Amino acid sequence: MNINQHESFQHMIDESLAGAISPEREQSLREHLNTCAPCQVYLSATNRVVAGLGGFSFEVDSMLNARVLASLKRNVQPAQAPQPSRQWALIIIAAGALTMGGSFVDLQFGSLIASVFDLQRTQLRQELLAFWIVPSLCVLLLFPLLPLLSKAGIHREDREERTV
Amino acid sequence: MLDYEAMSGASMQSDTQQIALGLRQGDVVVLESLVERYQYRLVRYLIYLLGRRDGVDDLVQETWLRVLERGSSYDGQARFEPWLFRVARNIAVDAMRRRRTLGLESNDDDGIRQAPASDEASPFTSAAQTEDADRLARALETLDPGYREALVLRFQEDLSLQEISAIVGAPVSTVASRIYKGLATLRHQFEEKQHEH
């Protein structure tokens, strides 16, 4: 067997270790290794290098885990805590949509609904206003004030605590 | 600690799905278990990547914060390790670029290059536990970081070429070539050292 053929099989050894060899080539490599001393030496040297890579043990600062976990906890809490301003914004958007929805139903389908339920058009409008549009409008107008009232309350409590 | 080789495909899938769910929810318990499970491997990967110990702890910390921040992008369909190493690599590359901008390191087109010469002792020499590892330490120190990275991911992390390719953002053929060249360099220097003894 010439040098080129050995080189070819030795490259196959590297391919096999890298996980880049087909099953057929792997089989042919195994058969070759059974009878070829130079390639066995090559395989043994390469395996020794690979095993040598596992012979390192890096020191990890014992406080590193604690530092990482503390920093993760600091950063995870704001994400998990409810965000009042976001909740209020969602409620305001929902109230706005309900108000507009009520007005839309009244304008577009008022006559149709009145005829289906055998109601006067004005009676239906009053009921829509009383039970749908006005409550939604109240929520829409009142909720923007709640964060401000809540903040004012917190500031007052803070002031009181400081005074005590 | 979970042993992936011992796990069936289905239970591994369930494990990765749990990790993905925990990350999406910012679940502290899941994060704690991930830190416990992967911390050493993360430190080792970054040392191989950078060729130094200095600054690795900061990168590890930054990596976990990024995991928390971008955890929702891990879908649990594949193993967690490649995704984690990819995050760590991006952080390390950004840090190297910042250092270069500050004039602390030489310029290069690739993200990761040779660590600068410093007074710091080689992390490999101080970590070598066996005679063979001791022989390899010096060679690893001077080895191209791209080769070192491919070697640790293949032979220490047992990742496939496809997984390594996804981490380093290079074609599979390039990754394979880095492994062959890395092995050849280490083998050569290892044999030289053996003859010296």
Q: What is the pLDDT of residues B141-197, one digit of tens each?
A: 999 999 999 999 999 999 999 999 999 999 999 999 999 999 999 999 888 877 776
Give A147's pLDDT tier (boundaries 50, 70, 90): low
Q: Determine the Cα–Cα distance for residues A17 and A45; give it in Å rounded to an integer.
A: 12
pLDDT at A16: 96
The more confidently predicted of residues B5 and B149 is B149
Q: Determine the Cα–Cα distance for residues A41 and A10; give it in Å rounded to an integer.
A: 10
pTM of structure: 0.71
Q: How many CB atoms lie within 10 A of CB B4?
A: 13
Q: Determine the Cα–Cα distance for residues B191 and B136; give it in Å rounded to an integer.
A: 10
User: Under 8 Å CB-to-CB from A110, ≥6 apart: which residues?
Assistant: A121, A124, A125, A128
Q: Which residue of chain B is at minimal alpha-carbon distance from A59?
A: B127
Does residue A50 sit at the B interface (CB-CB below 8 Å)? yes
pLDDT at B113: 57
- The answer to whether B180 contacts A51, with C-beta atoms less than 8 Å apart, is no
Which residues in A lie closer than 8 A to residue B139 (C-beta atoms)?
none
Interface probe for A, chosen from B31, B152, B153 (most Cβ of A below 10 Å), is B31
Residues in chain B: 197
Instruction: Check: CB of residue B150 under 8 Å from CB of residue B175.
Output: yes
Distance from CA of A81 to the nearest CA of B (A): 11
Q: Which of A46, A57, A73 shows the shortest C-beta gap to B187?
A: A46
Chains A and B: how many Cβ contacts under 8 Å? 121
The separation between CA B191 and the C-alpha centre of its own chain, rounded to angstroms, equals 26
- pLDDT for residue B1 is more than 50: no
pLDDT, mean of residues A123-130: 79
ipTM (interface pTM): 0.83
User: Under 8 Å CB-to-CB from B87, ≥6 apart: which residues?
Assistant: B63, B66, B67, B70
Q: What is the pLDDT of residues B72-109, one digit of tens each?
A: 999 999 999 999 999 999 999 999 888 777 665 554 54
Q: How many CB atoms lie within 10 A of CB A79?
A: 11
Distance from CA of A44 to the nearest CA of B (A): 11
Does residue A54 sit at the B interface (CB-CB below 8 Å)? yes
